[in-house]
Amino acid sequence: MIWKREITLDALNQMAEQTMVGHLGIIFTHIGDDELEAEMEVDHRTVQPFGLLHGGASAALAETMGSMAGFLTSKEGQCVVGTELSATHHRAVSSGKVRGVCRPLHLSNSSQSWEIAIFDARGKRSCTCRLSTAVIG
């Protein structure tokens, strides 16, 4: 297991309630040994004017997941900040939920890299993101 902090899904979701994360409806759904999962509805909050999932909403989901995973792998007294985010959009999503799966690519005392794969309701990959973070403290 990669996590250094113990936290429940309920606590993760409560931390996000009064933030953009809560506004977008991002819900953490699973904490595995080396992965973090979350869901987001494709609805009026997350689509662009043409009715498709907004790339910025996908990026927000990815950054949320990678940042939270980074926090969970940090020690007490440390914080984690995003330094770079890239997103490759593979297919459009117009309804249902998307599910993000976040896994580490690199973990060190000073930096981290995370891959966040986003899947549509049929399980097809719609977006692949990579988040780099710096560990401070």
pTM over 0.85: yes
Q: Say how many domains are in the chain.
A: 1
In a domain, 4, yes or no: no
CATH number of the domain at 17, please.
3.10.129.10
Domain contains 88:
yes
Is 124 among the domain residues? yes
Q: What is the pLDDT of residue 32?
A: 97
Predicted pLDDT at 80: 96
Judge whether 63 counts as a catalytic residue.
yes
Domain span at 100: 9-136
Alpha carbon distance 5, 57 (integer Å):
27
Judge whether 48 lies within some domain: yes
User: Is 54 part of any domain?
Assistant: yes
Spot the catalytic one: 63, 76, 84, 115.
63
- For range 69-84, the mean pLDDT: 96
Task: Let me know if residue 125 belongs to a domain.
Answer: yes
3 located within any domain: no
The confidence score (pLDDT) of residue 66 equals 98
